[in-house]
Chain A
Amino acid sequence: MSKISDKGFVMASFPYRDRDRMLHILTRDHGLISAGARGACSVKSKLRPLSNLFSLCNYEFFYHKERFYVDDGEVIEAFLGISESIEHLTAASFASEVFRDLTRNSPPDQKYFDLWAYTLYEISQSERPVLLSRLSTLRLLAEAGYAPQLERCGSCQRPISSDATFSFQTSGLVCGSRACESASGDSIRLSEGTLALLRHVLTAPFNRLYRFTVTADVEKNASQFLDLYLCEKMEKDYKMLDLLEHPFDMDLSGLKRNCD
């Protein structure tokens, strides 16, 4: 049995047995780990605040029989802005799912921890949390070696500066020449603004990653591309954001009370 100290974010937290919780924690030095938190469902448990979804904590684990258990720790930041709306919660949950999928079998790398730290903070503060969560998945894919080619034509290597077509088959842009376009396969048109946004996300340092302003058209175009690109690269259909596509529809006018 060994003791390990590390910083980590709670990426997912599930009830386990009667009073325990099973946590997926993205740690700075050990990558994504699963850790048991015994008794964490109990009101007076010292592990309860360390088991809250999306919390950043200093953890002390003990490692026994190839399993991590949370032994002690302290909360650094609880990111309460995430609970401010369903949009914030869904955006953070979606990004968390992608981060977990991508880091589950990856060797520990602090860049994933840092990217998640900036992403979660910005999602908790932003008025456009869903766009930020989508953009974070592009940067995450790029950090893992799946960056799209957005500077030049994927077929003829000619530089492209204006709006262009993105081919999922070549994972890059396609210039207007007939030969290149015919080889593009499934594709999507990206506006100049969308391209500028995506290039910024691929190259900006983490602390400047979410510093931009975009129009509604660019957000829509970029979101379509990001969903398709994520699905293509991860070979998985992420449905969490669908929760926001179907808003709770009910006529609430009958709820009004007479305030006289």
Chain B
Amino acid sequence: MAMRFSPAITRLIAELNKLPGIGAKTAQRLAFHILAQDNEQALALADAIRDAKQDVTLCSECCNLTEDDPCDICRSQNRDRSVVCVVENPRDVSVMERVQNFDGLYHVLHGAISPMEDIGPEDIKLRELLQRLQQHQEIEEIILAMNPSIEGEATALYIARLLHKTGIKTTQLSHGIPMGADLEYADAETLSRALKNRQEL
């Protein structure tokens, strides 16, 4: 028999249950954890969610999540403004920033073209990228850093074709064996790409 909770608890569980990776049981556990906290802690969580929703917007340049528009990266004078790295998600920007030898700018597409999920070129921030390339003639190279999935590849090739013959250099992150992985566990596709993109030492 389903357990019955008060309407407020049921609502809290239902809202938590909508979060990715949170099932019904986890939502219940989180709800009771929040209720067990003192008022200050629980309301700090609520305030953090409200503030983030109110203050975080999309950067008008790169479409990354930011509190200041343009974002820190787009405002920085120390970045190379001739190179733009195109990524699928805001999370990918922070991943790329961990690689401390990239000092160019970013553009976040907020997804990849995926007919299976009814996502077409108009549903990602591709128009914004092309407008940016028109407005900023100093951009000379686009690095396509999509996920190596079939949708990511198709999106990268689509963008590369749009930029063909524009004089903008279009490159893609190379694909290969991840550091720390054993060669014997690499799949044939990854190995063949790694071979194709091999480098002379």
Residues of chain A having any CB pair with chain B under 8 Å: 12, 15, 17-18, 43-44, 46, 48-49, 52-54, 74-75, 78, 80, 82-86, 88-90, 93-94, 96-97, 239-240, 243, 246, 248, 250, 252, 254-259
Instruction: Give chain A nearest CB distance to B119 CB in angstroms.
Output: 9
30 A-B residue pairings within 8 Å (CB atoms): A12-B116, A17-B21, A18-B21, A44-B178, A48-B187, A53-B151, A74-B187, A78-B189, A80-B150, A80-B153, A80-B189, A86-B113, A86-B115, A89-B150, A89-B154, A94-B115, A96-B116, A239-B118, A240-B118, A246-B120, A246-B122, A248-B122, A252-B162, A255-B130, A255-B163, A255-B168, A256-B166, A256-B167, A257-B137, A257-B167
Assess the B115–A93 pair: CB atoms within 8 A.
yes
> Is B134 among interface residues, defined by CB-CB distance under 8 A?
yes
CA distance A184 to B83 in the complex (A): 62
**Residue in B closest to A78 when the chains form the complex, CB atoms:** B189
Instruction: Give chain B nearest CB distance to A9 CB in angstroms.
Output: 13
> Is B100 among interface residues, defined by CB-CB distance under 8 A?
no
CA distance A94 to B158 in the complex (A): 19
Residues of A within 8 A of B151 (CB): 53, 83, 89
Instruction: Give chain B nearest CB distance to A1 CB in angstroms.
Output: 22
Assess the B115–A252 pair: CB atoms within 8 A.
no
Q: What is the total of A-B residue contacts with beta carbons within 8 Å?
A: 101
CA distance A80 to B181 in the complex (A): 23
**Residue in B closest to A10 when the chains form the complex, CB atoms:** B150
How many residues of chain B get a CB closer than 8 Å to chain A's CBs? 40
> Is B7 among interface residues, defined by CB-CB distance under 8 A?
no
Contact A43 B178, CB 8 Å, known A17-B21, A250-B130:
yes
**Residue in A closest to B162 when the chains form the complex, CB atoms:** A252
> Is B188 among interface residues, defined by CB-CB distance under 8 A?
yes
CA distance A204 to B166 in the complex (A): 45
CA distance A97 to B106 in the complex (A): 34
Contact of A83 among B23, B154, B161, B163 (CB under 8 A): B154
> Is B58 among interface residues, defined by CB-CB distance under 8 A?
no
14 further A-B pairs in the complex, CB-CB below 8 A; given A80-B150, A246-B120, A258-B167:
A49-B187, A49-B190, A84-B157, A88-B154, A89-B113, A93-B116, A239-B118, A240-B116, A240-B118, A243-B120, A248-B162, A255-B168, A256-B165, A257-B167
Contact A49 B163, CB 8 Å, known A18-B21, A89-B151, A255-B130:
no
Assess the B115–A53 pair: CB atoms within 8 A.
no
Residues of A within 8 A of B121 (CB): 86, 248
Assess the A252–B150 pair: CB atoms within 8 A.
no
Assess the A53–B149 pair: CB atoms within 8 A.
yes
CA distance A80 to B192 in the complex (A): 12
Residues of B within 8 A of A83 (CB): 150-151, 153-154, 157
Residues of A within 8 A of B167 (CB): 256-259
> What 5 A-B pairs have minimum CB-CB distances, sorted nearest first?
A257-B167, A83-B153, A49-B187, A93-B115, A254-B134
> Is B65 among interface residues, defined by CB-CB distance under 8 A?
no
Instruction: Give chain A nearest CB distance to B96 CB in angstroms.
Output: 15
**Residue in B closest to A46 when the chains form the complex, CB atoms:** B185
Residues of B within 8 A of A94 (CB): 115
Contact A89 B115, CB 8 Å, known A84-B157, A248-B122:
yes
Instruction: Give chain A nearest CB distance to B186 CB in angstroms.
Output: 9
Contact of B150 among A17, A18, A52, A256 (CB under 8 A): A52
CA distance A90 to B150 in the complex (A): 11
CA distance A75 to B151 in the complex (A): 18
Instruction: Give chain B nearest CB distance to A89 CB in angstroms.
Output: 4
**Residue in A closest to B119 when the chains form the complex, CB atoms:** A243
Residues of B within 8 A of A256 (CB): 165-167
Residues of A within 8 A of B189 (CB): 49, 75, 78, 80
Assess the A44–B181 pair: CB atoms within 8 A.
yes
Residues of B within 8 A of A49 (CB): 187, 189-190
